[in-house]
């Protein structure tokens, strides 16, 4: 699912995704292909914010994927995580919530009993990463059963320039007024009273 939002001068594509479970390899491959096609259809000048349950483990460290992994993930990488990282790297997308050093409580997006993992991600274009100030999980808040709320702070809209009328306003040259002030003082001023 995707929507486009116009913010300032920026067009932001907000995309939601859900990858199939690990045991369904064919469906997972179709998901990655569909994700890749969807991202490639979005013009390069437009922003992308992808929020998705990728159902994979990308691991704690970047391990060769510094382009798309920030180095502060959670847990061990699995085969599905490796494939997803390759896909994201080819699309020049970055897993935002692996870019900030956090306690485990603020990294784990899925919890079931004693098991916890990081399978939900926020993803943006590589060039947009500099606009992201923070990303973390809100402990205790659940969006869906077992999935925890993942948030991101950033600036994604380009500011609009103030529109002018086309004319450049001239500055008042106060120093020139001082030069000719003497001339006005020396002239005889004629006073005309108001006529009632």
pLDDT in tens, 104-128: 989 999 888 889 999 999 999 999 9
Contacts of 58 (CB under 8 A, 6+ apart): 65, 69, 73, 77, 81, 84, 85, 95, 98, 118, 121
pLDDT for position 188: 56
> 145 falls in which pLDDT band (50, 70, 90)?
confident
Query: Domain of 62: which CATH number?
Result: 3.60.10.10
Residue 42 lies in a domain: yes
Q: Which domain holds residue 80?
A: 2-154
Is 177 within a domain?
no
Burial class (CB in 10 A: 0-12, 13-18, 19+), 194: exposed
pLDDT for the residue numbered 187: 55
> Looking at the domain assignment, is residue 27 inside a domain?
yes
Domain membership of residue 190 (yes or no) is: no
Residue 159 lies in a domain: no
Domain annotation covers residue 12: yes
pLDDT band at 159 (very low <50, low <70, confident <90, very high): low
Is 136 within the bounds of a domain? yes
CB 122 within 8 A of CB 51: yes
SS3 category, 17: strand
Total domains present in the chain = 1
**Phi–psi pair at 123, nearest 5 degrees:** -130, 135
Residue 169 lies in a domain: no
């Amino acid at each position: 699912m995707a929507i486009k939002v116009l913010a300032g001068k920026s067009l932001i594509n907000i995309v939601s995704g859900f990858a199939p479970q690990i045991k369904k390899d064919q469906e997972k491959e179709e998901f990655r292909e569909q994700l890749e096609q969807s991202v490639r259809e979005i013009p390069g000048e437009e922003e992308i914010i992808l929020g998705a349950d990728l159902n994979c483990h990308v691991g704690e460290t970047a391990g060769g994927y510094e382009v798309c992994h920030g180095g502060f993930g959670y847990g061990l990488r699995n085969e599905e995580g490796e494939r997803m990282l390759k896909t994201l790297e080819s699309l020049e997308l970055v897993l935002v919530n692996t870019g900030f050093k956090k306690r485990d409580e603020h990294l784990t997006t899925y919890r079931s009993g004693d098991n916890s993992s990081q399978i939900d991600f926020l993803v943006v274009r590589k060039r947009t990463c500099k606009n992201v100030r923070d990303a973390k999980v809100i402990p205790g808040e659940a969006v869906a059963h077992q999935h925890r709320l993942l948030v991101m702070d950033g600036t994604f809209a380009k500011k609009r320039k103030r529109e002018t009328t086309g004319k450049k306003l001239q500055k008042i040259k106060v120093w020139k007024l001082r030069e000719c002030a003497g001339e006005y003082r020396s002239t005889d001023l004629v006073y005309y009273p108001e006529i009632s």
